[in-house]
Amino acid sequence: MRKMNFKGKVIWITGASSGIGASLAMQLNNLGATVIASARRTEKLIELREKCADLQNFMVLPLDITDSQSIQKSVAQVRQLGRLDLVLHNAGIAQKGLVIETELDVDRKVMETNYFGTVALTKAIMPMYLQQGYGGFGIVSSFAGVMGIPGRSAYSASKHALHGFFESLKAEHMGCKLNVSFILPGFINTAITAKGLCGDGTPYGKVETSHRLGMTPAECAQDIIKGLQKKRKQIAVGKFEVYLLSINRIAPGLGHYIIKNHPMRRWRRLKSRFDLTIHFKGNKVIERRCTKNC
């Protein structure tokens, strides 16, 4: 299959103000694409633009995907460009908490952002794709989008829902050259867990150890771009955790056991028991301290 060439392509990225989205925007711009970077934090998008190689082909477009008027206004501006080749749905919010301790309002908020916001933007874009006869979507999902993860019920549900929606969309529009890629990041060192919602709706406030030790956003973006170039239907990105997807597909029972008893859960139990404290500088451990039962 012929690889996708990004030079001259128009690519719209949501959630582009930080993390994976920001790295994708910079790298695709460097590859010659006209990048439309969207997020609610306009000032962060402007800062990102200043770091890019081709400022003329980097468009800052404020967008709140939970606001229908913001979506319609943004799509109208994109239409003026005359073409749109690829949309990378990256905007989203995480959640942390057991089912029984997560308030229903939190479930609704996660679904409103991760699912309904993405669906609303897609519905607004599709007339443009149908008119030009082609288009693509890259959905930044998660391992939680193909398997249930403990403590991530709302997040996992929202990502599962996206898979069902885009599978149906692709099946419905066979007459349009519509390419859909599901992007499944594993543990990536971004602030998504820190900004994620606890069961009562408050921010979790810290980056989980599993993510802190994970792949960098820049490395993640590189692997995503390689997958998009090859037009892969599923792009799994991460370190050792990517093997879990194959295990879960071949032996679901074993996959479920690993998820339920994964090393980070054991680590948290150990940390609680011995009151372990670890400090990081980047991905490097710079201090370990044990204050009881040691």
Q: Which amino acid is at 30?
A: N
Between the CA of residue 143 and those of 69, 112, 186, 267, 289, what are the distances in Å?
31, 20, 6, 20, 32
Indicate which residues carry an active-site annotation: 155
